[in-house]
Amino acid sequence: MSCCRRCGLLVGAVFGAVVAILAGIVYRQMWLFDVQNPAEVLENGSKPIVWEKGPYTYRVRYLAKENITAHDNYTVSYLLPNGAIFEPSMSVGPEEDMVTTLNLAVAGAYSLIPKILHLALERMIKTSNSSLFQRRTVREILWGYTDPMLKTTMGVFSPYNGTYDGDYTVFTGKNDISKVSTIESKLSFWNDTYCDTINGTDATSFPPFVDRNKPLFFFSSDICRSVSADFSSTVDLKGIQVYRFVLPPATFASPTVNPDNQCFCTDKLVTRNCTLAGALDVSSCRGGQ
């Protein structure tokens, strides 16, 4: 998705997502916000009324690792191929469900183009029959469609299939079983030692003997940061007792509530001086997307 540096923030107005890991299989679940009064918003400046639609569930991280390279320090490097398979049985409806949502191309263009050119931009929007809101299928919004104004592919996760995540360097655990699959690499996006530290695994696997009294750490490349999950309950999965871990409220809390998130706040204007929860500008680690 090619747009402005604020797209990482804008997509938060379009959808929410969560990652579920069941028996080693990773699922990504999406919720989209369906705007009920787009005309009133455009004509009268009314407050948007949105309905949350979801989850729409996809199986991810199912492809075998590639470019696997072993190193002498008990680590191994690899690439994770990206792929997503829709799971109808775990979804609220089909991918063809229609949703009225924010047009990222139009919303992003105003931040990308100088004000002196906004009049020309408005002519482009009108000529292409575009608007601040658009009605598209779930599949189009998530995975891509041809934008009539920019004449390019737009989508929250576009491109995805056929791309790679990584590379990752992880510990094999040969010299310390507690380090199995733990990522050795570091980030360089947040310009802060704490926020650039990668904790845990890539979420496809974890070290054995999980202690439910300790948080479970993993790295999410979608949001370019590590997060932790706390034990919630024991559940039955096809006759096997497994642990359910959930993200605590502090994970995406504003820095005023969780000071550890201060270094993740890079846009004080959009986040109202770092007082908004859940706002994360990931443009620096997503190539400006």
Nearest residue to 11 (alpha-carbon basis) of 32, 26, 25: 32
What is the per-residue pLDDT across 84-136, written as a single tens digit (0 to 9) for each? 999 999 999 999 999 999 898 888 888 778 889 889 988 999 999 999 999 99
d(CA 250, CA 242): 24
Q: DSSP string of 97-120?
A: -EEEEE-HHHHHHHHHS-GGGHHH
d(CA 95, CA 87): 10
**AA identity, residue 106:** V
* C-beta of residue 185 within 8 angstroms of C-beta of residue 201: no
Confidence (pTM): 0.79
d(CA 288, CA 265): 16
Backbone angles phi, psi at 9, to 5 degrees: -90, -35
What is the per-residue pLDDT across 40-95, written as a single tens digit (0 to 9) for each? 999 999 999 999 999 999 998 888 899 999 999 999 999 999 999 999 999 999 99
Q: Residue 151: CA atoms inside 13 Å, Cβ hemisphere, count?
A: 3
Radius of gyration, alpha carbons of the chain: 21
Which band of pLDDT confidence, cut at 50, 70 and 90, is reported for residue 6? very low
